[in-house]
Structure 1
Amino acid sequence: MAGGSPMTWTAREVLDRWRRASVEQSIEDMRCLYAVDAVHEFPFTAPGLPSRLEGRDEIVGWIAAGWSTNALRYETYRTRAVHGTDDQDTIVVEQEAVGTSAATGGFALPNLVVLTVHNGQIAELRDYVNIPAAMAALGVGR
């Protein structure tokens, strides 16, 4: 992952790199982006899905397992808005993940992300996934 020292990456730079790693399905880049003690939460979840992942290994392992199914392939992200907070290391992102589903074809998944970065790595990511939209993209409940 090239471009500047990770220690100086801002939350927006980390967001861009996280999105790129998602699109490229780069496990190595994801591993570089998450802090060893990072937390990735899903405040809105469904039965059988985690609500909280703790630590880089658990987070990246869960992401890699999802990628291995090839169920959803992200191609780009559309930004609706990025909001700063009172904490310069935290941003709130309104976005859509756009891609292709093996089950249903093209999709756009709206979600909201609250991203907190420390020393250029993700310390906490709260991922407010639109569960009904994700299930529809996967062809669940059709």
Structure 2
Amino acid sequence: MRLLLDKDIPAWLDLWAEDGVMEFPFAPSGRPGRLEGRAAVAAYMRDYPDHIDLHDFPEVRIHETTDPGTIVVEMRGVGRWVKRGGPFDMTYIAVVSVRDGRFSSYRDYWNPLAVDEPGTDFTRSSTR
């Protein structure tokens, strides 16, 4: 979370296994539902700071599971939308698994309706 707040996407990507998988079970049509491999996650996250200026995670609850390599995280991220300048406030639930100290699986449950507005597609750079 600290790396995302610092907008240090390269360091955040270093936390990923080469074959790590990021999934978005509630992804709407036209948005990726599954990213396979660190390179795919990198391509997806590359322009994230150009779209969301994340300021804080004021609410974080971590739940251990019966699998010592997996946790469930409830979190709330707040900040602002870069293009439209309005507030960003999103609640997430993530199921995160690690292998050899790196993310091997990250299932991100978020509300796609909250970002389903013009100018909020952070999978496309504002500079392209």
TM-score (norm 1): 0.76
- Aligned sequence identity (%): 31
2:95 matched to 1:123?
A: no
1:64 paired residue number:
46
CA–CA distance in structure 1, aligned partners of residues 118 and 101 of structure 2: 32
Q: CA RMSD in A?
A: 2.0
1:92 Cα deviation (Å)?
A: 0.5
Number of residue pairs the alignment of both structures matches: 120
Structure 2: gaps of 5 or more residues: 122-128
Q: Does the Cα contact within 8 Å between 1:91 and 1:116 map onto a contact in 2?
A: yes
TM-score (norm 2): 0.83
Amino acid in the other structure paired with 1:51:
G
Say which structure is richer in helix.
1
Q: Does the Cα contact within 8 Å between 1:109 and 1:134 map onto a contact in 2?
A: no
Instruction: State which of 77, 98, 104 in structure 1 corresponds to 2:57.
Output: 77
Q: Does the Cα contact within 8 Å between 2:22 and 2:105 map onto a contact in 1?
A: yes
2:93 matched to 1:112?
A: yes
2:32 paired residue number:
50
Give runs of ≥4 in structure 1 deviating > 6 Å: none
